[in-house]
A and B are shown apart, each in its own frame.
Chain A
């Protein structure tokens, strides 16, 4: 079981020093149960603007009742939850969708558009997850099919750009390349702007910052 107190404090401090360039979110291991909630409350009181969950790292399934207290707290505090998604067994897109449907007032963001298969064979599941859960968003880092009627274009066609968020997964992926996944997509300039900036501003309540 993993205690992220010190790491979260570090991230929040970097956020404070960055004058608005870095928006800190805090990581928690829900297997710690009440200790996880206490850790979250501490991080939120220090300035965390969101919560992150990494089911594959900590070997729990995102749709397990184990996570419910964390989602409950996110709901009460009005904080979005970023979920490392697309990992088989732990966070495939339909599992994330189930979590999103159980907590319909929590904004949940699935990283990598919920897809971490070289075949992109779960892109259908990812789209279905977005269609079935209005509080679910997809962060774009690493999504394979883009630029030629790919996933980003498909989502925009189906439901507009408001549910897509640019992300880079830096330092694992290259932020410039990841930005190109959005800028190369065959979508309007306005859709690009929403994905690259204004959608995240809304979700993290940064519109006045």
Chain B
């Protein structure tokens, strides 16, 4: 899929939330990172409902297996984004210099404003609003990123190319990251969507990789 779309490097994550019944999802992820480490950056998708066990699991993954970031989704793990278990887990991520990718938009417990509450309570955490607010909450997401310096946007799934342009105009390209949500969504389609946004060449170059590269480097 990466080759098909001309993508050099990609963040990857496990599909099943962990800890959970699909423990092999972790071994699959780590094996992929070991064999394709130069092309892949691993984020661990964690179920915060496991509280201390989730925090320990994530910390070991970062320190021992090269996991670089944390993925959270209220759509598959029903828990408020600013509840204590999530804040504690995100606090640990911040301590480890690991950014957080948070599925955002549309579903209950994934609203950008809810994640915004988390971002305010966890100012040292760097949180990416995945799908930049989805179908209905894109403007909410853009306004929040403008207000809070520790929030960023990721472009996948959100279907309006014009809103990518608006995001870059409002926030600058440094806070907007291309993503594909592959294999759920076709990466060529997501790439073409960003290309159709009417960005200037330097803005496009930033959104398609440079911004995220610099962002990751700053976390080290």
Contact = CB atoms under 8 A, between A and B. Distances in A.
B182 A144 contact: no
A177 B186 contact: no
B55 interface: no
B106 A147 contact: no
A177 B194 CA distance: 10
Task: Kindly state the interface size class of chain A when it binds its partner.
Answer: 20 to 34
Contact of B107 (A121, A173, A181): A121
B103 A118 contact: yes
B188 A144 contact: no
A142 B107 contact: no
Interface string B102-145: 01111100100000000000000000000101111000000000
Contact of B184 (A88, A145, A172, A184): A145
- Judged by DSSP, the binding face of A is loop
Interface in A75-112: 86, 88
A118 B105 contact: yes
B110 A180 contact: no
B188 A142 contact: no
B192 A177 contact: yes
Contacts of B107: 117-119, 121
B107 to A, nearest CB: 5
- Judged by DSSP, the binding face of B is loop
Nearest to B197: A174
Task: Kindly state the interface size class of chain B when it binds its partner.
Answer: 20 to 34
Interface in A173-203: 173-174, 176-177, 180-181, 184
Contacts, number: 85
Interface string A126-153: 0000000000000001101111101000
Interface string A46-61: 0000000000000000
Contacts of B216: none
B176 to A, nearest CB: 16
B140 to A, nearest CB: 13
A177 B182 CA distance: 17
Contacts of B184: 120, 144-145, 148, 150
A169 B134 CA distance: 16
A116 interface: yes
A186 to B, nearest CB: 9
Interface of B: 1, 73, 75-76, 103-107, 110, 131, 133-136, 157-162, 181-186, 188-189, 192-193, 196
A-B residue pairs, 4 tightest by C-beta: A147-B186, A118-B134, A119-B75, A118-B105
